[in-house]
């Protein structure tokens, strides 16, 4: 989670962690706001940075215009931002989920054993060489 926050911050997107509330799976949400004129480019750049600097890979195709990343047992999804009313910042929302072996969990705190910054790849199909997903402008 810290890697994703760092990649976003490097592109000017500041997000905060929302409290987890899902049992049986690791689930985290990051939310923030960004200038509407540059939010799409900043998200694309942050996801590219996460791949190049932190070893994340393009995640599964969701069938929607969303950006996805995967590393170890974590998947990150950023939905295409909505266009805000004039003069407002664009909300940015990322969902991070992990498979936790089916045990009950209220989420994984940053720096825990299942944080991808501290864990290596797990039994996950390789996605190296998969082209970036298209992320159309708002």
Q: CA angle 96-98-101, nearest 5°?
A: 165
Q: Give the residue-averaged pLDDT of 107-114.
A: 39
* Rounded Cα–Cα distance for residues 46 and 121 (Å): 21
Which tens digit of pLDDT belongs to each residue from 27-39? 888 999 999 999 9
The pTM for the full model equals 0.68
Find the largest Cα–Cα distance for the chain.
Answer: 46
Which tens digit of pLDDT belongs to each residue from 28-76? 889 999 999 999 999 999 999 999 999 999 999 888 889 999 999 999 9
């Amino acid at each position: 989670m810290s890697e994703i926050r760092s990649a976003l911050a490097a592109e000017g997107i500041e997000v905060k962690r929302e409290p987890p509330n899902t049992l049986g799976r690791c689930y985290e949400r990051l939310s923030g706001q960004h200038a509407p004129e540059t939010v799409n480019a900043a998200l694309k750049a942050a996801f590219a940075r996460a791949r190049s600097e932190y070893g994340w890979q393009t995640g599964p195709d969701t069938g929607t215009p969303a950006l996805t990343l995967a590393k170890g047992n974590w998947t990150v999804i950023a939905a295409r931002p909505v266009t805000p009313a004039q003069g407002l910042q664009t909300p940015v929302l990322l969902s991070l989920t992990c498979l936790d072996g089916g045990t009950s969990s209220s989420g994984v705190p940053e720096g825990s054993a299942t944080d991808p910054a501290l864990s290596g790849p797990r039994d996950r199909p390789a996605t190296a060489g998969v082209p970036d997903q298209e992320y159309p402008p708002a």
